[in-house]
Structure 1
């Protein structure tokens, strides 16, 4: 479990906000009421932690690997090693978190209903706090919009119906934006309609709305990047190239490239390995009248051994191969059936994913 620095801010703010409720429920004053308020907050985050652990345990049972449980200013989240492989797993992992909170809320409420704990005592106040906060966390997280768990369920439903994870994420992200806007509107309309909401309540609700909007927008951007990743091919990120010998002239290399209608040229070593590529800017700076006597190696950039990728790969597989190769050189050669098919520049790959 990781406690983000913002978690301490949340503890301090929520403790201060809980003091009036703790005072009303227990009648305590002074430092005692602050201790009870802090206990409310600790109980809340303990429930959030159990919420995240439930996500992790069910995800592991469904084949996902949870990496960490993080408590933050806005509650918590579970980081996984990869995305859910199926809509069913996505929905089941998402819904189990709120289900745990609703179960805890019911247990706390059941303990209150037994009426064996005297009203107004600290224990009674803690039971009341556990029932209310778990009920709120469970219901709120079931709202159908990302980044909430209910948004993951909606995402899974649309994904299953359309057979497109991208469509599911974008749809749930836009609903999440609607939910975020609704929270802000609700917060602002309360005081305007004569409600009893305090300034702090309004500010807190607006902050939650902003957080939800940010999370929904991030989900939409991530889905678009993911779609771009899945569509990565040699044709989308690379440029066709021709090959020339290590001892050829720049003029010969230019003629071969022009005949093929391409701009990139790869030099082959005597053993047939891609050994270098022509720097376009350097080649363009050579006067035409001396290109025939200029060795192509004079305007070429050496390629280290291993700076090649399999040009038949697509999507994540191609990106993984590119990640390996571009650690050696920012420009790599794509091979198809052992023959040079093109050049791929790391900058073009990044631009394609962001497009």
Structure 2
């Protein structure tokens, strides 16, 4: 039996085709659509490059689509390799309709890390394009020359476009890193780069109207459709990043110690009615069950207490409505901000026990109180 950890389940609509640097390489179903479109668009070019292909020109077009996406895979693999070297787990690389995406767990801890992970992708594309451009004059005529020329143009274009300073593009992450370094605030960097992404989206929408005056080619329906799709992708990605940044700015205002409820410690076998009476007399908002030596063993569920009819409470032990104090239910009293949110996310519960560094009980933290504090901080 293998001792290796199980791989995470694949997102729906994806096919695993291999792995790079320990990360799954996935192909989404949308890739097959774009590959077919590329094959149809490239087929006439292949016929000109190699006359007499007949129906095989579509096979040549499909082969070019595969080669093109292999270069996209190199772009994404460079992100994955640098992220792993900086200590971030990378679960997968996905090729899809608009290119690729690398799933990196965790956030960059410094502007330098953000910059390095982001900039290596466009640099890889520019390097592939430059190599193809250099070898193109020495490439024999025919399909090979078509492929090399196409790789050169596509990768140089992808590299340059990805350096556009707006999220969710790599250039947006580069801008985020630079603003973060200058301002000392990662959220300011994200918001500035998000606005860059929105401006880029507006520019993409108007691009078909400008291409005739710049290149002398009249835009068709496909040009407008692609511009709309890319602009929607940029706008949605940048808006999502800005919303997340604004939310995370409010998280540091969450201080567990300030939100804690006064807590009453009772024996596990104490009747629930008596525990509730004592808590009301002490104006305590939480109840913890303890051993005879005073060690906390359970935290009483407020919902379970309310669900127990008053007439039954004298005959029910408090421990029956208490959740065992597993490791994730005990939090440091001084926990704050994102660390608090992450702790709650790792072990979801309605109540947590806050303890001091010496193990003494400070109070009970209710998730409902954290949610309410977060909403109030938003206004």
Give the TM-score range, shorter chain.
Answer: 0.7 to 0.9
Alignment of 1:197-346 (within 5 A): 197-235=219-257, 238-246=259-267, 247=270, 248=274, 250-257=276-283, 263-266=285-288, 268-272=290-294, 273=296, 275-277=298-300, 279=302, 301-306=321-326, 307-323=329-345, 325-326=347-348, 329-336=349-356, 337-346=358-367
Aligned-pair CA distance for 1:170 = 1.6
Per-residue displacement from partner, 1:142-166 (whole Å, max 9, x unpaired)? 1111111111110100000011111
1:133 aligns with one of 154, 162, 180: 154
CA contact 1:243–1:268 (8 Å) conserved in 2: no
CA contact 1:52–1:78 (8 Å) conserved in 2: yes
**Compared CA separation, residues 279 and 299, structure 1 to 2 (3 A):** farther
> TM-score of the superposition, structure 2-length normalised?
0.77
Matched residues in 1 for 2:193 and 2:165: separation?
Answer: 7
Residue matched to 1:57: 81
CA contact 1:48–1:75 (8 Å) conserved in 2: yes
Residue matched to 1:196: 218
Matched residues in 1 for 2:371 and 2:26: separation?
Answer: 31
1:66 aligns with one of 77, 90, 99: 90
Residue matched to 1:89: 113
**Compared CA separation, residues 339 and 96, structure 1 to 2 (3 A):** same
**Pair 1:156 & 2:177 matched:** yes
CA contact 1:279–1:300 (8 Å) conserved in 2: no
Aligned-pair CA distance for 1:24 = 4.9
Matched residues in 2 for 1:164 and 1:24: separation?
Answer: 54
Q: Report the 3-state secondary structure (helix = DSSP H, G, I; strand = E; otherwise coil) of the residue aligned with 1:245.
A: strand
1:147 aligns with one of 146, 168, 172: 168
2:60 aligns with one of 36, 57, 64: 36
Residue matched to 1:3: 27
Residue matched to 1:117: 140
Residue matched to 1:181: 202
**Compared CA separation, residues 330 and 177, structure 1 to 2 (3 A):** same
1:106 aligns with one of 130, 139, 146: 130
Per-residue displacement from partner, 1:205-235 (whole Å, max 9, x unpaired)? 2111111112212222333444455554304
CA contact 2:289–2:319 (8 Å) conserved in 1: no
Residue matched to 2:189: 168
Aligned-pair CA distance for 1:85 = 2.5
Q: RMSD of aligned C-alpha atoms?
A: 3.5
**Compared CA separation, residues 281 and 2, structure 1 to 2 (3 A):** closer
Aligned-pair CA distance for 1:124 = 1.6
Residue matched to 2:5: none
Q: Report the 3-state secondary structure (helix = DSSP H, G, I; strand = E; otherwise coil) of the residue aligned with 1:83.
A: coil
> TM-score of the superposition, structure 1-length normalised?
0.81
CA contact 2:132–2:151 (8 Å) conserved in 1: yes
Q: Which moved more, 1:25-34 or 1:86-95?
A: 25-34
Q: Report the 3-state secondary structure (helix = DSSP H, G, I; strand = E; otherwise coil) of the residue aligned with 1:30.
A: coil
Aligned-pair CA distance for 1:183 = 0.4
Aligned-pair CA distance for 1:245 = 3.4
Matched residues in 2 for 1:2 and 1:282: separation?
Answer: 48
Aligned-pair CA distance for 1:43 = 1.8
Q: Which moved more, 1:177-186 or 1:224-233?
A: 224-233
Matched residues in 2 for 1:5 and 1:349: separation?
Answer: 40
Matched residues in 2 for 1:46 and 1:22: separation?
Answer: 19
Aligned-pair CA distance for 1:347 = 4.9
Instruction: Extract unaligned runs of 5+ from structure 1.
Output: none
